[in-house]
Amino acid sequence: VLAQQDVLTVGECAALTVDDAIAVSAPDRHELNMAFLFEHTDYYNTVGKDPQKLKEILTRWQVGLHGRGWVGLAFNNHDQPRVVSCFGDDTRYREESAKLFATLLLTLEGTPFLFQGEEIGMTNAVYATIEEYNDVGTVNLYREQVAAGADPQVVFERVRATSRDRGRSPYQWDGSADAGFTTGIPWIGVNPNHVAVNLQENLDDPDSIFHYYRRMIALRKATPALVYGRFEAVPAPDALFVYRRIGDEGSCLVVLNLSEESVEFAAEGTLLIGTHAQPEKNRLQPYEARVYRE
């Protein structure tokens, strides 16, 4: 029906496997242009930080889908927590975490999708009372369990840790009242950290997360290997995710430290971009990311 139309189709397919994605997005089938990959976000929303599992999921998809289908890549959406909070470190290493996941997103095969606020490092919102939550799943679960006799505070802490409202707070334009989002009453409370975490602060800082996204996007557009190249995992310490994107005009090496510890790793090549202004030659700092041309 849509094959002859000038439209882009993206499928939201539950419990999608690599074979499923190939079946719906293979060019010769003329069905969808791509399907969203959710396995990695479902994993870190329920399990927590496990770099090995994240690497296994992404590697399996990158290798299995290459040349056979296409996916929409995202680390955040309206049903998930913000990756900088649940897989990174949204306090001590917030900026580093956000830049690392920008690097990961924009060096994998697939079409990258950004969720509002991702480009400025917005974090999960945490609210003090159940009345401040709007998500129907959160509110209903709380009411049902309390009605069944569960301790209200215990239930509240549980739903607060899993609510979809964590990632649904208003966009943080600036540090003014209600983050510059409205002069009225927003549908849900603004994250209190908007005074420091907002678009205006990012625009004013040339080393901000926002400007790093712009540089990463420009690098991806100028480097065909990062878009179409074959994925090859590189052996590395457990805390690191290291891989090549191998294209017809050369290859790129991506090195990501998914931990809060510094890690030794020797990489060869020309450094194209990195999250840290003064990188050490054979050591990556917590949540540091680099892209080399080999």
d(CA 247, CA 171): 37
Q: Which domains does the chain have, with CATH numbers?
A: 10-125+168-224 (3.20.20.80), 127-164 (no CATH)
Mean pLDDT of 284-294: 98
Asked if 22 and 69 touch (Cβ cutoff 8 Å), the reply is: yes
pTM, rounded to two decimals: 0.94
pLDDT band per the 50, 70, 90 thresholds, residue 47 = low
> Over 60: is that where the pLDDT of 226 sits?
yes
What are residue 156's phi and psi, to 5 degrees?
A: -60, -45
Predicted local distance difference test score (pLDDT) of residue 15:
86
Least confident segment among 21-35, 213-227, 242-256: 21-35
pLDDT of residue 133: 97
> In terms of Cα–Cα distance, which of 227, 259, 81, 86 is closest to 163?
81
pLDDT at residue 45, rounded to an integer? 59
DSSP 276: S
For residue 46, what pLDDT is reported?
Answer: 57
pLDDT at residue 178, as a whole number: 95
* pLDDT given at position 40: 84
The number of angstroms, rounded, from the C-alpha of 176 to the middle of its chain's C-alpha atoms is: 27
Hey, what are 114's tokens? 């950004």
- Percent of residues in the chain assigned helix, strand, coil, to nearest 5: 40, 15, 45
172-196: pLDDT as tens digits: 999 999 999 999 999 999 999 999 9
Q: Is the pLDDT of residue 48 over 80?
A: no
